[in-house]
Structure 1
């Protein structure tokens, strides 16, 4: 199964983070050189994760020939579902009018969710001869964010993506690695508002992510220098720069592109990949995602043409 295309949806409205600087005793230098999020994308009031996912799917439909009746798997990555029951994938299934032979389930991960979903969906489709699947990422964080919380209220933005997996030309998943740091689930939690221990999160990133990427690439005789594009989860400008430096990569290879959107959680990686995947810009791409758990995943995908497959 290959990634054929990625659809995206980012709301038009933006919230300026500069408005909160005085409240939290911060200055523009911190905003521009550390946090990196000058503004955050905000969805319309009343819009749910399933609504966002439908928007991203509709964008996907506009980018590639897609028969809704052929979809056999729909996976939704979210930690902010429409309801506890039923799963959000079932709600999107109904809104899109998908067929009765389409399996649906949610993955309750946020920032580290996309590589996990890519691995799970790809493996399931290969094992059970499915020819067409969709991965939706959608995390509306507004309802769990305390606007007076210094640690989270300037970070998260709304967005959604839809990834098409099917037989034929596209990007094949070559390898993936996962991990969860023992005893680390208290670094990011909600009860009921989202709270984060930023120092602990950064410590886990430093100890886990760069080595995991090198190890995964090393299994294929590769190093980070062999990868033309690396998608690093857009946790903040400081985090992206840290991981990029540890991997010895140039800014053009592993960019920070979330200054006007914010950290979009599970949508962070596919938003970075969308234009590169859709335009087939690189033969090989790597990604690293990390977040609540503390969980992480790294993955490598490679462009596969019909000639290659033959």
Structure 2
């Protein structure tokens, strides 16, 4: 059985305090605390690139005793802000980590749904090839494309990276997945001329109308009911979005964490940052994860504890 063996992360120490930008962007405390939810935003160092953040997450994984580098057979990097347009960032990460030349490496170009998509991709790639050890990285530093004078994006997005070790004898097995795309609304979250633009109303309406039903569909696919899930790890797009989905499905607060107050919306890293803590919680037998955003795109699955 192929599944999740370990998760490690890297959060840059640099922070932008959103409260310090209150006068510039003219918002009330309640807007920041209740709607946005991010009191500060993490920012990578100027000399750090996407691959460097991946390597920092990997270093933490090794310190945790999570993986033998020589055993890694495939590396996938989920990013839409790579080091270069060519080559793929996974190749750069592979070289920096000194992995074997027989190791496959490829990028996945997805945003907020990237972690769930990535799990499905790497699991089935490994299963098809008979591989037993792989790494799924998420590293999407939006600070590369943020206009710091644009309130719609500057208050939201933080930098982070994670790595998930996929292999045999997993802590969590992967259930069945839902996937969806609403390509006709691709321009709601788009990078034009090197700058990120977002239509916040369209993104919220999409999330509110689509994700609660998708969660129900994922539960149905996995033969589960809401009260059989121990944690709902919802992409931390904003506090208001998480709270809305929680309220719509009547999910308990203790099962639906929002922990991104200190670093922001980290795109494809938001779910594994939550999952990192859940891995050691033995009460978490069944964990639903759902990612949604850029594309517009979404995906949901359930993780089943094995040990």
Shared fold (TM-score greater than 0.5)?
yes
Is 1:275 the counterpart of 2:285? The answer is no
Paired residue secondary structure (2:75) = strand
* Structure-2 separation of matches of 1:118 and 1:278: 19
1:214 to 213, 216, 238: 216
Residue 10 of structure 2 corresponds to residue 3 of structure 1: no
Note if 1:295 corresponds to 2:307: no
1:197 corresponds to which residue? Answer: 199
Distance in 1 (CA, whole Å) between partners of 2:128 and 2:4 is: 17
Shift in Å, 1:222? 1.5
Partner of 1:308: none
RMSD, matched Cα: 1.1
Give the TM-score normalised by the residue count of structure 2: 0.97
How many angstroms apart in 1 are the aligned matches of 2:148 and 2:222?
Answer: 45
2:180 is matched with which residue? Answer: 179
CA apart distance, 1:170: 1.4
Contact 1:76/1:89, CA 8 A, preserved across alignment: yes
Listed as ranges, the matches of 1:126-165 within 5 Å are 126-165=127-166
Greater CA drift, 175-184 or 85-94:
175-184
Alignment of 1:1-310 (within 5 A): 1-191=2-192, 192-305=194-307
- Distance in 2 between the 1:110 and 1:31 partners? 23
Q: Secondary structure at the match of 1:252?
A: helix
Shift of 1:247: 1.7
Deviations 1:204-225 (A, max 9, x none): 1112111011011112331222
- With over 3 angstroms needed to count, the CA separation of the structure-2 counterparts of 1:65 and 1:265, relative to structure 1, is closer
How far, CA to CA, are the matches of 1:77 and 1:204 in structure 2?
22
Aligned-partner SS, 1:100: coil
Moved over 6 A (4+): none
Distance 1:166 1:289, change over 3 A: same
Which structure 1 residue ranges, 5 or more long, are not aligned?
306-310
Q: Is the 8 A contact 2:186 2:294 kept in 1?
A: yes
After TM superposition, the score normalised by the length of structure 1 is 0.96
SS of structure 2 residue aligned to 1:184: helix
Residues 86/280 of structure 1: CA separation in 2 closer, same or farther (3 Å cut) = farther
SS in structure 1 of the partner of residue 27 of structure 2 = coil
Asked if structure 1 preserves the Cα contact closer than 8 Å seen for 2:136 and 2:165, the reply is yes
In 1: Cα distance, 2:53 partner to 2:92 partner: 12
Q: 1:175–1:301: 8 Å Cα contact kept in structure 2? A: no
Cα distance, 1:281 vs structure 2 = 4.3
Cα distance in 2 for residues equivalent to 1:230 and 1:27: 29
| Structure 1 CA distance for aligned equivalents of residues 75 and 170 of structure 2 | 20
Deviation per CA, 1:184-228, whole angstroms, max 9, x where unpaired?
101100112001000000111112111011011112331222100
Partner-residue secondary structure (3-state), 2:265: coil
SS of structure 1 residue aligned to 2:254: coil
Aligned 8 A contact 2:6 2:66 in 1: no
The 1:183–1:88 alpha-carbon spacing in structure 2 relative to 1, beyond 3 Å, is same
1:114, 1:242 → 2: CA distance? Answer: 22
Q: Hey, what's the Cα distance between the residues in 2 that align with 1:27 and 1:296?
A: 31
Write the deviation string for residues 115-166 of structure 1: whole angstroms up to 9, x where unpaired.
Answer: 0000000011111100100000001111200011110011011111000011
Count, aligned residues: 305
Contact 1:5 1:64 in 2 (8 A): no
